[in-house]
Amino acid sequence: MADNVSSGTEFIQRHTIVTRLTHWLNVLVISLLLMSGLQIFNAHPALYWGEKSTFADPWLAMTSVTVADVPRGITTVGDYQVETTGLFGFSGKPGMGEARGFPSWATIPSYKSLADGRLWHIFFAWIFVINGLVYWLWGLIGGHIRRDMLPKREQLKPGHILHEVITHAQLKFPKGDEARTYNVIQKFTYLAVIAVILPLMVVTGLCMSPGFNATVPWLTDLFGGRQSARTIHFISAGLIVTFILVHVVLVLISGVWNNMRSMITGKYAIQVQGDRP
């Protein structure tokens, strides 16, 4: 006689207290770093490749132009230009706004101050680095990175990866035993962020320090020059913003309370099935 199937909810320990604390501290610190970084960018809202600023040929620029006595914000990317009045290049209504790369609500401080932006940025950069070292040391010693972040051999099979890509595109999220661990897409993404993009942001940020340049000049050369390092720093920040936005959307649509609880208490609920006579 076939068994009847019963189901229930099981709470598993998904995140340790160190992982949770470093995660929430990163939420605050990265937000402040991004906003103070935009303040610094606003001092010269253009990006270049190479060692020096070729003012006549930026690959990205946010500028303000006046057309028929009306100021307009213009964003240039390569050979393409688009009007971005009210957001990039010129903030606020014509006659009431001001020329600036990013609007005041997106920067810390909100007023124009390169010096204050640098103070905020450098202060929180040190907190970010220390917090990251704590996460890495704890993850290596406690086995979190090896156990939860590194893909298993069976997860690296092309068929399995393709299956995960398709299910992600269809917004189908793992349930039951499959939800006990990160899937291969999550692992690849988290590894790319914590092992590539975030360290790249730190290193390219150091390349913009005159004192560091004098001590380790070869590192700036490795990135193709000071302006190239600044560009890569900006692109890395953009990738982090993209990751955060996608991450938040997936948290919301895959079960906001369950995901938030796991990052606050460490407990994650999964639906399990068991046999009963």
Q: Domain locations in the chain?
A: 4-45+105-276, 46-101
Say if residue 174 is preceded by a cis peptide, omega within 30 of 0: no
Q: What is the pLDDT of residues 93-134, one digit of tens each?
A: 666 788 899 999 999 999 999 999 999 999 999 999 999 999
Tens digits of per-residue pLDDT, 64-79?
A: 998 888 888 999 999 9
Is residue 5 predicted with pLDDT exceeding 50?
no
Digit-coded pLDDT (tens) for 257-276:
999 999 999 999 888 765 44
The answer to whether 59 and 47 are in contact (CB under 8 A) is yes
Residue 276 burial (10 A CB sphere; 0-12, 13-18, 19+): exposed
Identify the CATH assignment for 4-45+105-276 out of 1.20.950.20, 2.40.220.10, 3.40.630.20, 3.40.190.10: 1.20.950.20
- Rounded-to-integer distance, Cα 130 and Cα 208, Å: 20
pLDDT of residue 174: 82
The model's pTM is 0.88
Residue 251 is inside which H or E element, if any?
A: helix 226-264
91 within 8 A of 63, measured Cβ to Cβ:
no
Share of the chain above pLDDT 90, in %: 63
Nearest to 112 by CA among 52, 39, 167: 39
Tell me if residue 102 falls in helix, strand or coil. Answer: coil
Q: How far apart are CA 57 and CA 89, in angstroms?
A: 17
Q: What is the mean pLDDT of residues 26-36?
A: 96
Amino acid 172: pLDDT? 86
Question: What 3-state DSSP class applies to 277?
Answer: coil
Confidence class for position 92, pLDDT limits 50, 70, 90: confident
How many Cα atoms within 13 Å fall on the side-chain side of residue 146? Answer: 6
pLDDT at 144: 84
Share of the chain above pLDDT 70, in %: 95
Find where tokens 């999220």 sit: 173
Q: For residue 100, list its beta bridge partners.
A: 89
Chain-wide mean pLDDT for the chain?
89
How many helices (H) and strands (E) the chain has is answered by 9, 8
Provide the pLDDT for residue 8.
79
